Chain A
């Protein structure tokens, strides 16, 4: 079981908007640690999508957005495209400063 909880899967049609939740606790997200989001395509290294809860690195489309509230965070993907089909992971830290990941969410573009 992962420290951060994500839904195993989400799906949406091209052009639609989907959200992926990431639920933690008072020991990690709720303690004030930032949440970062990564996209993982099989056979390739993870790619940073969102850092510091809401910030997009250069080159990441503005279709991707993040938010955080209390002990949870969310990743939203608007205007779904076929190329968005991948696994998505949230990541934060716990009170011992160890990194923790969510279990991952598989996004299927219908």
Chain B
């Protein structure tokens, strides 16, 4: 059974950073990319970017370039997504998703991590 297990909810102050983790199986880590998608309250899905763990290639949506960093930890088959300089409109549920490298769809998703930015 494919599982992506994300870290728990976080509350951050404006200007701080948050790092969300997404732990996958070794097979998934070695075979698939991971996408990061968020959904703010009452809003639609927003594609933040994706990362290929085997070649280190990352692709960030223009909106997030310079403020978001996606990384991996090979030793624990874990993906990370860090957002810096948090603002109130970064309050959202953040999802990681397994991305098929041939068709580029996202087939399995993490449970979501609520990040609340509030002073």
Contacts and interface: CB of A to CB of B under 8 A. Distances in A.
Interface of A: 2, 33-34, 36, 38, 40, 45-48, 51-52, 57, 87, 89, 91, 93, 96-104
B47 A46 contact: no
A98 B105 contact: no
Given A36-B106, A91-B47, A93-B104, A45 B112 contact: yes
A45 B103 contact: no
B105 to A, nearest CB: 4
17 contacts: A36-B103, A38-B45, A40-B39, A46-B37, A46-B45, A46-B97, A48-B106, A48-B107, A51-B103, A87-B44, A96-B59, A99-B35, A99-B37, A99-B49, A101-B44, A101-B46, A104-B44
A89 B39 CA distance: 12
Interface of B: 35, 37, 39, 44-47, 49-50, 59-62, 95, 97, 100, 103-107, 109-112
